[in-house]
Amino acid sequence: MDQMEKVDKLRERANVTYEEAKAALESNNWDLLDAMVALEKQGKTSGPEQSNYSTSYEQQQEYIKVRDKVYEQQNTKPHVGRTIRDTIRRFLRICLDNSFCVKRQDEVIFKLPLIILVLLVLVAWKVVLAVGVIALFFGFRYSFEGKDDLKQANDFMEGAGNVAESFKEGFQAKDKQEE
């Protein structure tokens, strides 16, 4: 939990101003419990309102299983290895579930699994990029198809095709004027 979240939580629990909460946390090394005790000692907030304590399950208002609480605490801070692993898994799933389509005049020339395209780009990115740009000038269009919503990527591909088409038309118009 970062400092801003601690200030907000203390403000909410102790019903004090932002400045009071921040000052109490700073003077208590950003420890929420110590800051709350300090505010109670200063008389800025009242102590707990509970007067009846019980250890029986039936009398507890908010019973939380220890296992669930431990699991929650472990998952509050993302583990770097876990996030990297999850990102790689998500990327691989997208690559396996989708394909790269090459079309010309609304006819599908070929479909390539996205994982193959990624491998081609990693191995020979200069060639793939050059061929891809040149093909745009010959009327080829690219899109992504599959299980995932790849609308933004398809919009980008459509925009690239439109830019190539406008360049092509501009060069053709210039050639006609020169003749």
Percent of all residues in the chain with a pLDDT value above 70, rounded to a whole number: 80
The predicted pLDDT at position 80 comes to 65
Handedness of CA 70, 73, 76, 81 (dihedral sign): negative
Between residues 79 and 90, the one the model is more confident about: 90
CB atoms within 10 A of CB 176: 8
**Average pLDDT, stretch 140-144?**
92
Output the average pLDDT for the chain: 82
Question: Residues 74-87: pLDDT tens digits?
Answer: 666 666 667 888 88
Question: Residues 101-137: pLDDT tens digits?
Answer: 999 988 999 999 999 999 999 999 999 999 999 998 8
